[in-house]
Amino acid sequence: MSSQPIRVAYIAGYGRSGSTVLDIALGQHPAVMGSGEIAALTRHVWVQNEYCACGSPIRDCPCWNEACEQWWRGLGSNFVLDYSLLQRKFEGLSMLARSSSGIGLGRPFGQYSIHTKRLFDTILSRSNKQVLVDSSKLPGRAIALAEIPGIDLRVIHLVRDGRGVAWSLLKSYERDARSGLQKEIKPKSAIRTALRWSAVNLAVEYLSRRKGPAAVMRVRYEDFASEPASTMQQIGSFLELDLSQIGSSLQIGGSMEPGHQVAGNRLRMSGSIALKKDDSWRTRMPPGQRVAFERLSGWMLKRYGYL
Ligand SMILES: [Zn+2]
């Protein structure tokens, strides 16, 4: 195990904001392991043997199967369940209160820290990469990772216009495990999305205020999609990586191959991905839903320059 701090690029924000595409884009760099939503590995992916972005069920994926075996070797047959209980405790929004008061971190958090860092170490050393991308999105997990000694955490706060997010969540999808949808997705109201979108983004801002600009950078998905060259350059200087080649390729419409993103948006299963700016909500979102979103979260839209 290395004594150097582990560099983790964590993508935080609300769902349907482009985190999987950004994860895959970063993973195009030879020193970067784009790992997808690592939090989901022990929460449900392993137990339900869900599909990795490489197209194999996780237990058949050469990358994750061996990394997991190495990770929990000697830790007992209940490890996955025990660890996922620690995740429940420390990756929720209650982590805001815990980290600001320092109360409730104690021994269980020590266990959570050791196991989490060990997983990151294992993934990086097996893949022979230097930077790990974790696009779990959860702000509570970002706050937890920021408390773990030996992790050099850089958080990319990815924001997308909440109306686009709400429009995306108004649609329903049938379950289709092989193409990356583990369960049926029911439509969510714009009011629900407005409240959650605002809360999650505010929680990431809390981390940003605590840790400062060297640890947290904000990226708007719309800027990434329309100006990938300059956005990747900014992300590159934040992560201390040269991402200019990837940015230039995306700028001219180049496609990307997913790696072993363990969980995330179903588009990771589509083999080859191009970056696109999806603003279909502007013409297709029902006006009543749009107004409801703006009434509740207009102030947040303004904050990010969308109104
Ligand atoms: Zn895989």
Residues 82-133 have pLDDT tens digits of: 999 999 999 998 998 888 887 878 899 999 999 999 999 999 999 999 999 9
Q: Is the confidence at residue 1, as pLDDT, over 70?
A: no
Cα of 172 from ligand 1 centre, angstroms: 27
Domain boundaries along the sequence of the chain: 6-303
Give 39's contacts (C-beta < 8 A, 6+ positions apart).
Answer: 87, 91, 134, 136, 138, 141
How far, in Å, from the CA of 98 to the mean position of ligand 1?
34
Please, what is the average pLDDT of the chain? 94
- H or E segment to which residue 255 belongs: strand 255-256
Q: What is the pLDDT of residue 2?
A: 52
pLDDT at 75: 94
Work out the average pLDDT over 277-295.
96
Give the predicted TM-score (pTM) of the model.
0.95
User: What pLDDT, on a 0 to 100 scale, did the predictor assign at position 4?
Assistant: 86
Predicted confidence (pLDDT) at residue 257 exceeds the cutoff of 80: yes
Distance from Cα 110 to the centre of ligand 1, integer Å: 29
Cα-to-centroid distance, 215 and ligand 1 (Å): 29
Fold of 6-303: Rossmann fold (3.40.50)
DSSP result, 100-131: HH-TT-HHHHHHHHHHHHHHHHHHHHHHT-SE
Closest CA to 127 of 38, 58, 51, 66: 66
- What's the average model confidence in pLDDT over 50-65? 95
CB-based contacts of 87, cutoff 8 Å, min separation 6: 39, 42, 43, 112, 141
Q: How far is the CA of 103 from the centre of ligand 1 (A)?
A: 38
Q: How far is the CA of 124 from the centre of ligand 1 (A)?
A: 15
Q: Residue 7 — very low, low, confident or very high, per pLDDT cuts 50/70/90?
A: very high
Please tell me the distance between residue 211's alpha carbon and the centre of ligand 1 in angstroms. 33
Is residue 156 scored above 60 in pLDDT? yes
8 A C-beta contact, residue 201 and residue 137: no
Percent of the chain with pLDDT over 70: 99
Any residues with CB less than 8 A from the CB of 305 and at least 6 apart, and which? 220
Q: How far does residue 31's CA lie from ligand 1's centre (Å)?
A: 18
Residue 26's alpha-carbon distances to 14, 168, 189, 233, 258, in angstroms, are: 19, 24, 32, 11, 10
pLDDT, tens only, 20-41: 999 999 999 999 999 999 999 9
Q: Is the pLDDT of residue 43 over 60?
A: yes
Q: Are strands 131-137 and 32-34 parallel, antiparallel or unpaired?
A: parallel
Centroid of ligand 1 to alpha carbon of 273 (angstroms): 16
